[in-house]
Amino acid sequence: MKNLKELWNYMKGNRSRYLGAVISIGLATIFSLAAPLIIKVTIDSIIGSKELEAPIWIERMITEFGGVEVLRDKLWIPAAVIVGFAVVRGVFLFLKGKWSAEAAEKVAKRIRDGVYNHLQYLPYQYHVNAETGDLIQRCTSDVETIRKFLATQFVEIGSALFMLLFTIYIMLPMDITLTLISMALIPIIFIFTVIFFIKVKEAFRLMEEAEGKMSSTLQENLTGLRVVRAFGRQAHEVEKFDKNNKTNRDLTYKLIRLFAWYWSISDFMCMLQMGIVLMTSVYWTFTGRITLGTMVVFNTYVGMLLWPIRQMGRVITDLGKAMVSLERISEILDVPKEIMENTSEKPAIEGSISFKDVSFEYEKDKPILKNISFDVKAGETIAILGPTGAGKTTLVHLLARLFDYQKGSITIDGKELKDIDKKWIRKNVGLILQEPFLFAKSIKENIRLGKGNAPDDEVYSVAKVASIHDVVLEFDKGYETLVGERGVSLSGGQKQRLAIARTLISDAPIVVFDDSLSAVDTETDAAIRGALKKRKNNATTFIISHRIATLSEADFILVLDKGQLVEMGKHEDLINQKGLYSRIWKIQSLEDEILGKSS
């Protein structure tokens, strides 16, 4: 019921179109049911000699055409009326299809927009855990499943109901007993259809999940294709995809078997019902209980009635698929959006930062940061060193409020970080990640993502700071060069420098380099750091790196290990202590010495 209510809400603004489609299918049904009645009257009272017994509208029509005697000599007139009814029925079916299709497209767009918009505001941790391929399928295939149901099958429910009600209404006055015989198996077919719906819905859910896993595997492989080839893992990837593909195939086979049982049994019951009516009506016609026209009408109506009811299996099937798709979409929409406090403060950010006993954990009782405390003055450069998993990235993510700390206090310019508006703080904290993501746009457009209205001179200026300007000028199209999907046409170092330029153009007062100089050579590293010092805005800068040369010129250095701040101070002080920083410095100094001698 919850899913149906959500579907009803999505239909808001398009319900009038669906109402028009339902009315059109109702009128089309009336005209399709009227034709057999005309055939009955023609057989019994125009061709035959039975006294005219027909609905009032048929009697009036016969009178308008000159009566039974005239029509007996002009049988083309009843034929023309039947053709005319068919044409009118076709018009109403066209309107039904047009209005339901238009409404379905608009509903699908609303769902697609709603899901995409919701994804933009979900917590960062959700996207860390979610599978991209599965999310893509939910936003595309699942929405398309709902659209198809709304465009074709949704209105067919009305068609079957209209056909059942109108047929019973017409058949009962002709012969109550034959009407009951004609309806004998319909309740059984309906119950069988409901049971099938229950079975097929679960089968569709499992198949959609399997297809989602297959899509995730495909998306991951295509994204990391260069890595796969570099390590010769093609066979492993083929085997992994084949496993998911086989699971999807087996679940599809299970679904096909359910369909085979349904269609064969429902077809048998429909044919049985038609056979019973045919034999009964022929016998009663032979004995004179009913007329030949009545026999033709009943057999025509039973055929017209049973096939829509049989088709309810397809409607129910598509309804099951649509409900599964709606559930999968609802799983996204039910995840609460990240709370963006509109009432929070938006102070001017200068860059003074203070951590006081800050602790953070992703999972309960598994701390990532433990009692971290340090102070930073505006404009200072802070370097962070530590082994993998020490909590370096987590610490700087707290600054941008991608996560909120559970214990302690972080203040920026004296304001508690949790009291500052998330959008505002993220606008003022520039994050440059180790693996930058570039959009399939030009170099200039990628840089301007940090500041949409930036003039060309400003783009060139930050590119020079990031030591990418001269490289870009060597490209045939310069700054108009398309970087390809995820920046595939650029080297790792070029992508990092482009990401640096993109962040610098925003003029954020706090800038974080999250190991984002790792792919550039030491000479370029030094050039970028030198250019940053000369910049006018004098931003507070955090640099995470494993390269001592990158960290050594910072105002002070934080050394993290297992989530704790184990050392803090200037380069000159830390190398004289017998700690982690000193050990790493000695190792790297020795490596540099060996490499210097070998060269």
Query: 0.85 exceeded by the pTM?
Result: no
The tens place of each residue's pLDDT in the chain, 599 residues long, gives 566 777 778 788 888 888 888 888 888 888 888 888 888 888 877 787 777 777 777 778 877 777 777 777 788 888 888 899 899 999 998 998 889 888 888 888 888 888 888 888 888 778 777 777 778 888 888 888 888 888 887 887 777 788 888 888 888 888 889 888 888 888 888 788 777 777 777 787 788 778 777 877 777 777 676 666 766 778 878 888 888 888 888 888 888 888 788 888 888 888 888 888 889 989 888 888 888 888 888 888 888 877 777 777 677 777 777 888 888 888 888 888 877 666 568 888 888 999 999 999 888 888 889 999 999 998 888 999 888 888 888 898 888 888 888 899 999 998 888 888 888 888 888 888 877 777 888 888 888 888 878 888 888 888 888 888 888 888 888 888 888 776 777 777 788 888 888 888 888 888 888 877 766 777 777 777 777 776 655 788 898 888 888 888 888 899 998 888 888 998 888 888 888 888 888 887 776 666 555 55
Chain-centroid distance of CA 420 in Å reads: 31
Please name the residues in contact with 366: beta carbons below 8 A apart, sequence gap of 6 or more. none
What does the pLDDT read at residue 94? 92
CA dihedral 531, 532, 535, 541 (to 10 degrees): -170
Measured CA to CA, the distance from residue 192 to residue 208 in angstroms comes to 24
What does the pLDDT read at residue 597? 54
The answer to whether the CB of 492 falls within 8 A of the CB of 524 is no
What does the pLDDT read at residue 486? 67
Q: How many CB atoms lie within 10 A of CB 401?
A: 22
What does the pLDDT read at residue 343? 56
- Per the structure block, which two tokens stand in for 4? 């149906």
b/e sequence 49-68, b meaning 16+ C-beta within 10 Å: eeeebbeeebeebbeeeeeb
What does the pLDDT read at residue 427? 86
What does the pLDDT read at residue 150? 85
**Domains in the chain and their CATH numbers?**
2-333 (1.20.1560.10), 353-598 (3.40.50.300)
Side-chain-facing half-sphere of 270: CA atoms under 13 Å: 21
